[in-house]
Structure 1
Amino acid sequence: MNVPTFTVDTEDAVARFMRIRRHTLALCVGLSGEDLQVQSMPDASPGKWHLAHTTWFFEQFVLGHDPAYRSPNPEWRYLFNSYYESVGPMHARPQRGLLSRPALGEIRDYRACVDEAMGELLAGDVNTELAARIELGLQHEQQHQELLLTDIKHMFSCNPLQPTYRDAADQRESRSSPLRFLPGRQGPVDIGHEGDGFTYDNETPRHATWLSAHALANRLVTNAEYLAFVRDGGYQEAGLWLSDGWATVQREGWQRPLYWQDDLASEFTLAGVRPLDAHAPVCHISYFEADAFARWAGARLPTEAEWEDAAARLPVHGNFQDDAHFHPIASSPGDGLQQMYGDVWEWTASPYVSYPGFKPLPGALGEYNGKFMNGQWVLRGGSCATPRDHIRASYRNFFPPHARWQFAGIRLGQDR
């Protein structure tokens, strides 16, 4: 099986594996078994399921590579398969919250058992193909660390007590930079992954594309700017919305971003209800809302090629999961493009489709990305819930246009 090759950093393979696996458990500290059991909507998963599925991934695609391996829980292959049809049948996604058994303690034991087997494997000679599968599993685990946080936030928001996941530092007075549009490059550019670092298949192959004259906003759209859209009747003006977006607004009764409170002065966060920071980036916005706001503002959303060409020349720096804010923060005064990484995933105007010459991975791992290239839109840059070492300029996230529970926001673009 051909899996993309990559170079591993200087961190010892066993140490890197254990660090990432332990961090998933660390994100669950302070959560009860009941917290980790609940599934608040079909698009979310219980925390307990995330713990088990990421373990299943290593068992299925790494340890199972050895015919002599025997799973301690072979019946769980059905319970914790997510969407790999070629592996076998799976428990229905909307019913994951009904899995009161196995208990949380059993899943923790399962993780420990698989981690021990993986530690023994990593301590020996690992060929390139298996090493690539292990790295894919670690990157997959980091994706689920982010999903764990977004799913916990949605679950807690459904509780009338509006519980706190982690206390936040006192909010400092913030002030964002004035909004300016900075010209991007025009003409032929190359986008897509290059180099020896890890990449998902959907970031390849690197290819040439054409950029027309354009500009990108120097920073993300703030809560204050989005509040002006709300107060100006943005959610009542059909002419601002795509047809499916307007139908969604009417059907769901949207009047503001997902976690904003009725007073339009506070919002639900992982630290509970907090005052709305006027200068922080607006988040938990769907593609439909991002597109409508851009029209209202007399602008548009950037294409993913425009975004990547600009971001590829910048260091990966920003507000990530590692910083433990778990919420976007205001930009710092400065010149040039800001907040290209971290804070919020940035919706682009690009549908999630394959690059010219794209070839998914063969076998079951080919189901990881390619089969979702239908009816979804690309987001770029990572968020405050993304691990810092998980993101890069070529990273392509994707969600359906109505999705709001992710930390997603807006950077404006315009034609020149």
Structure 2
Amino acid sequence: MNIAVAPSPPTTAAPPAPLAVRYAGIRARSIALASPLSAEDALVQSMPDASPAKWHLAHTTWFFERFVLATQPGHVPFNADWHYLFNSYYQSIGPAHARPQRGLLSRPSLDQVLQYRALVDQQVIGLLQANALDAQASHQLLLGLHHEQQHQELLLTDIKHALWSNPLQPAYRDDLVRTSATAIPLRWRGSPEQIVEIGAPAWPGHGAFAYDNESPRHRVLVPAHALANRPVSNAEYRQFIQAGGYRDVTLWMSEGWALCQAEGWQHPLYWDDALEREFTLGGWQALDPHAPVCHLSYFEADAYARWQGARLPTEFEWEAAASGQPLHGHFADADRLHPAGASAAGQATDTALLQLFGDVWEWTSSAYGAYPGFRPFAGNLGEYNGKFMNGQWILRGGSCATPEGHVRASYRNFFAPSARWQFAGLRLARDAA
């Protein structure tokens, strides 16, 4: 057997800003994302899997209070009762308010939550400016910044679902950037069988930040295969619908078919029944045929791939292709907050892999599990990722709602296969001929 060995160097990114500047910027970004919302908007919880915007603002603040400020001698909690309200799932440090009932938290008020944020920010920035945090508290603060960026994306996807669930279906904003590009023809890029290095070095202490579920870095045999040069477009997915894809049981996994029938799925979440419009954070818009299809469950993505005589890529195939690629794409910072079509401008070949980062998270065929030798973060933060490694599937690449600079080639997102409210789409893969 002749196997090539590819080292797959980690994707490079711009150096981070000084920690106090970075902290202030990320915290301000959350406030900016919430600013178009009324106090009533910020309280709404439209389904158990989503959380109110007010809760996102409070929970991320609680994280810094609990894992940074509480490490300092003499720290007095802002409000001891809020520990229960805004803990998410850290059972090792105490009970938490039930997730499906976060929309019942009319008190504290939004103004009180904003005051909470301001006080915690003042104290954290003071500690940073005084260089008063030890190594462990500094590591926990950096983790908290990445954690807040995750919640920034969730704030957008959760409020989108809430506004769509409102009979008036109002827009989150009416001034979002709107761009379009004609999708380039779908082409295939082949890759030989090879051994690749997957994952990121364990953090802290070994280079740039990465979550514990991305390590340890290890070698994987990736068989010969081909990847599509871009994600599947709205127009291509509409052909699947019109061809009866939602009525053909042979294309679907059993659980997915049962869910499709029980919930009456006929098209992606947020499309209208005429397949001409979709609900966006800017309200109802004409369906852009060239943009990547999004708001698909794993089951829908898998059924489409089967219909095309293809499959979803493994997370290792995806990471091997993305490693070393520039972290360019349509991220939340572009202020579009919706996927855009691919452009081939500046590409050397028509098989160059486009839109690996940004636009839509790409479902893979890989179940979410531990890498060989996985070690969770130390202490209470060991609950961050590891205990969710069952019944979920890996997505890669980030989306139009992901903050720029938050993702990397080794980043592993995960959701239940039924999840549709995230900006999730797909890229096709196939075995080598």
Q: Given the two structures, how large is their TM-score scaled by the length of structure 1? A: 0.96
Residue 4 of structure 1 is matched in structure 2 by none
Matches of 2:192 and 2:50 in 1, distance apart? 39
Task: Name which of 269, 285, 296 aligns with 1:285.
Answer: 296
> What is aligned with 2:147?
140
- Report what 1:257 is aligned to: 268
Cα RMSD (Å) of the superposition? 1.4
**Aligned CA distance change for structure 1 residues 172 and 342 (closer, same or farther; 3 Å):** closer
Query: Could you tell me how far apart the structure 2 residues matched to 1:60 and 1:397 are?
Result: 24
**Structure 1 equivalent of residue 3 of structure 2:** none
The alpha-carbon deviation at position 12 of structure 1 amounts to 2.2
Q: Is this contact kept in 2: 1:184–1:306, CA < 8 A?
A: no
Given the alignment of the two structures, is residue 59 of structure 1 paired with residue 65 of structure 2, yes or no? yes
Q: Residues 71-126 of structure 1: CA distance to partner in whole angstroms, max 9, x if unpaired?
A: 12111000000001101001000000000000000000000111111011111223
Relative distance call for 1:372 and 1:173 in structure 2 (3 A) is closer
Q: Residues 17-416 of structure 1: matches in 2 within 5 Å? A: 17-125=23-131, 126-168=133-175, 171-172=178-179, 174-194=181-201, 196-333=207-344, 334=347, 335=349, 336-416=352-432
CA deviation vs aligned residue, 1:39-90 (integer Å, no higher than 9, x gap): 0000000000000000000011111112410012111000000001101001
Could you say which residue in structure 1 is the equivalent of 2:10? none
- Separation in 2 of the partners of 1:170 and 1:275? 15
Shift of 1:173: 5.3
Q: Are residues 147 and 171 of structure 1, via their aligned partners in 2, closer, same or farther at CA, if it must alter by over 3 Å? A: closer
Tell me, in whole angstroms, the C-alpha distance in 2 between the residues paired with 1:392 and 1:173: 25
1:184 deviates by 2.2
CA–CA separation in structure 1 for the residues paired with 2:340 and 2:97: 38
Paired letter, 1:80: F
Alignment gaps of 5+ in structure 2? 1-12
Output the CA distance in 1 between the equivalents of 2:138 and 2:129: 12
| Amino acid paired to 2:329 | G
Aligned amino acid, residue 66 of structure 1: Q
- Give TM-score scaled by structure 2 length: 0.93
Q: Distance in 1 between matches of 2:370 and 2:99?
A: 26
8 Å Cα contact 1:168-1:325 kept in structure 2:
no
Q: How far 1:185 sits from its partner (Å)?
A: 4.1
Secondary structure in 2 matching 1:221: coil
Correspondence for 2:18 among 12, 29, 40: 12
Determine the C-alpha separation between the residues in 2 that align with 1:222 and 1:314.
Answer: 22
Judged with a 3 Å threshold, the aligned counterparts in structure 2 of structure 1 residues 169 and 86 are, in CA distance, closer, same or farther, namely closer
Separation in 2, partners of 1:267, 1:61: 41
Contact 1:54–1:144 (CA under 8 A) maintained in structure 2 = yes
Instruction: Report sequence identity in percent.
Output: 59
Counterpart AA for 1:349: S
Classify 1:10/1:265 alpha carbon distance in 2 versus 1 (closer, same or farther; 3 Å).
closer
The gaps in structure 1 that reach 5 residues or longer are 1-6
- SS of residue paired to 1:390: coil
8 Å CA contact 1:349–1:378 kept in 2: the answer is yes
Q: Which amino acid counterpart does residue 152 of structure 2 have in structure 1?
A: Q
Q: Distance in 1 between matches of 2:215 and 2:167?
A: 45
